[in-house]
Structure 1
Amino acid sequence: MAQQLVPTKWKILLTVLPLTGLYGLAKVAVHRLGWEPWAFDSLTGSLFGAATFVIAFVLNGTLSDFRTSADMPIQMANALEAIQDSNQLVAQGSSDYDPRPLTQDLIAVVQTTLDWLERDKPPQAIAAALDQLNISLAGMVPYASGPIVSRAQGEQAKVRLLLTSIGINRDTDFVGPAYVLLEVFLVGAVLALLLIEASSFSENLVVSCLLFTSFTYLLLLIRDLDDPFQYDGRSSVDADLAVLGALRDRLQQTLAS
């Protein structure tokens, strides 16, 4: 993978800065035309306070949902590794049991999941890989006690649930209606910033540009956080899949040894 020219954490800011430049030009034009009839008062302060409250409220909820989603790949990796632990335990207890088919099936589950999320391949391959696990687990039954197989099946069910949850989070726009309110407040705040006159224009320009940048940045951040499984090169905040890649590599090393 090619190294990114721009660090991920700066993507949103670099997107906002050209808009801030356009806003600054509009502010200068409005000032020179004498179209600044407003003065900062309690009503204007209420507008900015309400906009800040709504953005903070939606951001807090979106961050909470993002943290939950970001934990799903970790839970999935732990569940698959628990199945591999059971696989190795049975192999240690019975020399006639071959653990490699189940290990290969676990690699297939991880790889098809990564292909689905990172390369946008159809998810049907994941379902087929999970169904294949049943065949390998059935091969474990003659060599393992009931609790070991039941534990592995429980972890398999957990993986199915996590994949379903990831798919829902990826395809559903949970805070779509909230964007309407956020955008209304953003437009209102921008218009107010453009029309407010101050004794010092330079101070007015700098402060209003900073507020415009902050409001726009937060709106784009909320949109980004709302879909933690994008991996399209444009997102700056995605759930980390490194734990799944590391698990795939460990399983492949187990097969090679």
Structure 2
Amino acid sequence: MFNLVKWGILSKVLPWTGLFCIVKLGMHWLDFEPWAFDALTGALFSAATFVIALILSGTLTDYRACEGMPSQIANALETIKDTNHTIAARYPDYQPQPLQQALTSVSRSILDWLKDGKEFTVVDDSIDRLNPLLAEILVIDGCAGFVNYIQSEQAKIRSISRQMCGNRDTEFLGAAYVLLWLFLGGSIVALLLIDAERFSENLTVSTFMFTLFVYLLFLIEDLDNPFQYDGKSSVDVGLSPLENVCLKLTIVETPKLE
């Protein structure tokens, strides 16, 4: 419950909430609250809520699609590792260490690209370095099927990592942010200008609504870039599957048939 990452968005919103309260108090003291809550104001809040829900739904859908990408890459790497050990168990003269070290390099390059902001070319290069090692397996009689299977997993790693790169560099719903900002801006202005019989009630409800609107805006922006890893996001996609498989790949084993 007290995980700081979980509360990260709220910690960014609260200063803006404090500023809103100060402005609201100032406008009340200046007696500058000319609006009353009516059907038109209610329609504005309803429209803002609809726009937020629409964009949040679309962003969550894309985020869910991205959430499984590290696991898919980890599964492909581990599948190649298992195939590599199967070949070593079937053909005692085959040395599996070079391919396993190359797989370790692939996993580490992806983690370095995501976490340390390195160029994506290091990922492409590490995946390409698998090809000469696969050519060595082709020399072994009867291993063409193994190579085809490994290459299909290699293509999966390349495809998913490039999708991750595209998702990281582009916004899912960039044009929709214009509509979102328009309705949120209008709703915040309305919250500042609306008067009520009891100011304490007006201030409390307006503050909660403002906090909700701004929180959802920050949440959507975080969800829109699920591969950020800059210490500012609270909803980055977890990389534990990749980290775990990278650790496994560093343990070089050569299984033999009894």
User: Partners of 1:126 and 1:93 in 2: how far apart?
Assistant: 31
Q: Which letter maps to 2:121?
A: Q
CA apart distance, 1:255: 5.3
User: Partners of 1:7 and 1:256 in 2: how far apart?
Assistant: 43
User: Partners of 1:181 and 1:244 in 2: how far apart?
Assistant: 37
The aligned residue for residue 53 of structure 2 is 56
User: Partners of 1:229 and 1:163 in 2: how far apart?
Assistant: 11
Query: How does the TM-score come out when normalised to structure 1?
Result: 0.95
What does 1:1-257 correspond to in 2, within 5 Å?
A: 7-143=4-140, 144-254=142-252
Structure 1: tracts of 5 or more residues without a match: none
Quote the sequence identity (%): 49
Conserved in 2, the CA contact under 8 Å of 1:103 and 1:255? no
User: Partners of 1:51 and 1:205 in 2: how far apart?
Assistant: 20
Deviations along 1:185-220, one digit per CA (max 9) or x if unpaired, are 111001111111111110110000000000000011
User: Partners of 1:256 and 1:36 in 2: how far apart?
Assistant: 77
Query: How does the TM-score come out when normalised to structure 2?
Result: 0.95
Q: Which moved more, 1:210-219 or 1:247-256?
A: 247-256
CA apart distance, 1:162: 0.6
Conserved in 2, the CA contact under 8 Å of 1:105 and 1:132? yes
SS in structure 2 of the partner of residue 8 of structure 1: coil
User: Partners of 1:43 and 1:176 in 2: how far apart?
Assistant: 28
The number of aligned residues is 253
Q: Which letter maps to 1:76?
A: I
Q: Which letter maps to 1:228?
A: P
Deviations along 1:12-52, one digit per CA (max 9) or x if unpaired, are 10111011011011111111111111111111000000000
User: Partners of 1:86 and 1:12 in 2: how far apart?
Assistant: 44
Q: Find runs of 4+ consecutive structure 1 residues off by over 4 angstroms.
A: none
SS in structure 2 of the partner of residue 173 of structure 1: coil
User: Partners of 1:46 and 1:147 in 2: how far apart?
Assistant: 63
User: Partners of 1:205 and 1:256 in 2: how far apart?
Assistant: 69
SS in structure 1 of the partner of residue 231 of structure 2: coil
Q: Which moved more, 1:107-116 or 1:124-133?
A: 124-133
CA apart distance, 1:74: 0.7
Conserved in 2, the CA contact under 8 Å of 1:102 and 1:136? yes
CA apart distance, 1:138: 1.4
Choose between structure 1 and 2: higher helix proportion: 1
